[in-house]
Amino acid sequence: NTGIAILTSINNKITDIWPNISVIIINKWKVVYKLYSNNILIIANLKGDVFMKEFFPNISPIKFEGSESKNPLSFKYYDAKRVIMGKTMEEHLSFAMAWWHNLCASGADMFGQGTADKGFGENQGTMEHAKAKVDAGIEFMQKLGIKYYCFHDTDIVPEDQEDINVTNARLDEITDYILEKTKGTDIKCLWTTCNMFSNPRFMNGAGSSNSADVFCFAAAQAKKGLENAVKLGAKGFVFWGGREGYETLLNTDMKLEEENIATLFTMCRDYGRSIGFKGDFYIEPKPKEPMKHQYDFDAATAIGFLRKYGLDKDFKMNIEANHATLAGHTFQHELRVSAINGMLGSVDANQGDTLLGWDTDQFPTNVYDTTLAMYEILKAGGLSGGLNFDSKNRRPSNTAEDMFYGFIAGMDTFALGLIKAAQIIEDGRIDEFVKERYSSYNSGIGEKIRNRSVTLVECAEYALKMKKPELPESGRQEYLETVVNNIF
Ligand code: XUL
Ligand code: CO
């Protein structure tokens, strides 16, 4: 207040609790600067009441600077208000932050502990930490201009190992806190899901567990999850069946397990609708990991399952790029399968490493892949959901800056993919080629096949009369790949 700064020796509560913290006392304000991989700026009074906390004080809001810029903390292609094919980039690309990778995961793997500090100045496993993650997450999203977040129930609160009622009370508290902190901002929940794979009770699956008691715990988590989806106004509710599958058929009643998953989904659909959940339910297919064989292997399998159990009106696909490649498909293939079945809902934006056989969840940097993905998304008329960065930094990329670099890479790669996909469509050579390739169905016998106004006998008679057909025209793959490169 007086403009006089007094630097005192450090001897107060906060420094006692947290090592590695410098405290400067300026008049009656205490400025705490945490000297750690995450520099946190805290402004508090001498009683310890915190008035302001900045989790990423060294990082200013990320701006679009264009492709000539060499500033690493800027967008080169993502220009939120730029209009492409009648919509702004921001409207095409509803980016979301995945709570679990960005605010929880420290880089731990089965060979070593974490390398990144995701404590945000609080002790892990406490509600103070849960709240610090909300505050840090909001600051992070605002600095990047990201409007959506996605989370598992267990990402936002520590799970009580003895009593699910305690966990549920914490969920009430944290969702109140999220609502309070996002009030007046444009930050919203894209989708939420329940972690029904980490807790030991789910070792044999959740909906597919051999234990009816465990099935009920999955139901209890999903019920609470749906209530929170409604409370936070989520656009979607995801089921990723990490442990819904099997290791060996020697101990598995596959029919019973699949039927029970369908029962759980049906209960969730009916309960969700009864409490006013108007969004989409999503299945996120994945062929394996952690299970050897997961029931939602890929989009085609999941769509067939939904149709069999009458769930196809309420469910869509959440397609993850890395899951597609684990299934032996391209990302583009999974998007196309979903789109042509009217079930393209949302996307988990990441990329795998084809030399590694697991889900590496890397930030998308391959522009060729994002171009072909955005081509599918544009042709399908967009996503009802968004692009959730189910992506994490590599273990050695462990600073706060790296968290931003990851998102900048992903957002720019999708923005450039959008620009290039729109150019492919506007160029028209690819679409024209495909149209022409099937032109034999525009008239004559082909038209009758399309109209289903011809029988097997008539088709056979037509063929016999011709004796031998001409070879179909060339597929021209190399030429088409050159067209794409030409557009690049
Ligand atoms: C796991 C995965 C999940 C889902 C949500 O591979 O992708 O994080 O996105 O449960
Ligand atoms: Co995912």
Residue 79, ligand 1, Cβ within 6 A? no
What is the secondary structure of 373-384 as a DSSP string?
HHHHHHHTT--S
On whether the CB atoms of residues 81 and 90 are closer than 8 A, the answer is yes
176 is catalytic: no
> Which of 418, 363, 425 has the alpha carbon at shortest distance from 388?
363
Which residues hold their Cβ within 5 A of ligand 2, which is an ion?
320, 348, 390
Q: What is the pLDDT of residues 346-370, one digit of tens each?
A: 999 999 998 999 999 999 999 999 9
pLDDT at 28 over 70: no
The DSSP secondary-structure symbol of 309 reads T
Nearest CA to ligand 1 atom 8: 390
- Answer yes or no: is the C-beta of 284 below 6 A from any ligand 1 atom: yes
Taking 90 as the threshold, does the pLDDT of residue 272 lie above it?
yes
- Nearest residue (CA) to ligand 1, atom 2: 240
* Interval between CA 198 and ligand 1 midpoint (Å): 12
Please, what is the Cα angle at 138 between 132 and 139, to 5 degrees? 90
pLDDT of 34 over the 60 cut: no
Distance CA 446, CA 459 (A): 10
Give the Å distance between the CA of 238 and the centre of ligand 2.
9
Q: What is the SS3 assignment for 320?
A: strand
Q: The whole model's pTM is what?
A: 0.93
Side-chain half-sphere of 64: how many Cα atoms within 13 Å?
14
Q: Tell me if residue 92 is catalytic.
A: no
Model confidence pLDDT, tens digit, residues 175-226: 999 999 999 999 999 999 999 999 999 999 999 999 999 999 999 999 999 9
25 Cα to the center of ligand 1, angstroms:
45
DSSP-derived pairing of the beta strands 74-75 and 293-294: unpaired
Look at residue 306 and give its three-state secondary structure. helix
Cβ of 101 less than 6 Å from ligand 1: no
pLDDT in tens, 116-159: 999 998 899 999 999 999 999 999 999 999 999 999 999 999 99
CA of 400 from ligand 1 middle (Å) equals: 23
In angstroms, the CA 283 to CA 293 distance is 16
Encoded tokens for 78:
């993502």
Residue 27 is predicted with a pLDDT of 61
- Per-residue b/e over 311-336, b at no fewer than 16 CB within 10 Å? bbebbbbbbbbbbbbbbebebbbbbb
Residues comprising the chain, all counted = 488
Question: In the chain, count of helices (H) and strands (E)?
Answer: 17, 18
Nearest CA owner, ligand 1 atom 10 = 240
